[in-house]
């Protein structure tokens, strides 16, 4: 089945994205715990981004488990999603190394929004392959979480201009919503 290789390539890219983010935490020189303190914002950003990228992998995994056909624009929609995910290490580092300055939080949330949008496009490309009457379409139709997430991201985007920490709390809330596995496709695997 040809979907295996899309999964494998996506796994590879997401595995690298999630792992190279740790390279932003530059090893400090020093002999006491205080040396690590300036790294705290970078570390917190890493945790947040690790969770977000992990959620994308998780949802990607569940969704492709239910996929029967790939083709047409699916490969490009998938690459498009990987593109925006690949900017996460940059956006994460930009935010962590500039102490959550409003503009860096803004850029970070723009990237999250683009990831969410490209995930939606991927869903639609897959939907076009499966047809409106498929099990895949029925599973997708129950979706409400993604619309809620997009809404919260938009609020967070606006908030970043004057209250960047509120924005990040909203981002963390979205992550928390998704950590509960996506029930739409979750029934199939078990």
Interacting residues toward a copy of itself by CB under 8 A: 2, 5-9, 11-20, 22-25, 27-33, 35-36, 47, 50, 54, 57-58, 61, 64-65, 69-72, 75-76, 79, 82-83, 86-87, 89-90, 93-94, 97-98, 101-104, 107, 179, 181, 186, 189-190
- Shortest distance, position 159 Cβ to a copy of itself, whole Å: 17
- Shortest distance, position 46 Cβ to a copy of itself, whole Å: 9
Identify which of 134, 12, 7 has the alpha carbon closest to the alpha carbon of residue 74.
7
- Shortest distance, position 120 Cβ to a copy of itself, whole Å: 19
Whichever of 147 and 188 has its CB closer to a copy of itself, that residue is 188
Whichever of 171 and 175 has its CB closer to a copy of itself, that residue is 175
Whichever of 11 and 147 has its CB closer to a copy of itself, that residue is 11
Whichever of 94 and 136 has its CB closer to a copy of itself, that residue is 94
- Shortest distance, position 141 Cβ to a copy of itself, whole Å: 22
């Amino acid at each position: 089945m040809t979907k295996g290789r899309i999964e494998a390539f996506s796994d590879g890219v997401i595995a690298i994205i999630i792992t190279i983010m740790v390279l932003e935490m530059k090893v400090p020189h020093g002999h006491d715990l205080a040396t690590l303190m300036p790294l705290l914002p970078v570390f917190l950003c890493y945790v947040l981004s690790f969770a977000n990228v992990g959620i994308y992998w998780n949802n990607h995994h569940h969704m492709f488990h239910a996929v029967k056909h790939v083709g047409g624009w699916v490969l490009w929609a998938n690459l498009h999603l990987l593109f925006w995910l690949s900017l996460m290490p940059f956006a994460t580092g930009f935010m962590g190394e500039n102490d959550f300055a409003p503009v860096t939080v803004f850029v970070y949330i723009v990237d999250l929004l683009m990831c969410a949008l490209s995930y939606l496009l991927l869903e639609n490309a897959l939907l076009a392959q499966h047809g409106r009457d498929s099990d895949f379409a029925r599973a997708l139709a129950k979706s409400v979480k993604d619309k809620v997430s997009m809404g919260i991201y938009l609020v967070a985007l606006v908030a970043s201009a004057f209250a960047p920490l509120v924005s990040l709390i909203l981002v963390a809330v979205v992550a928390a919503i998704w950590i509960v596995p996506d029930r739409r496709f979750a029934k199939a695997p078990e």
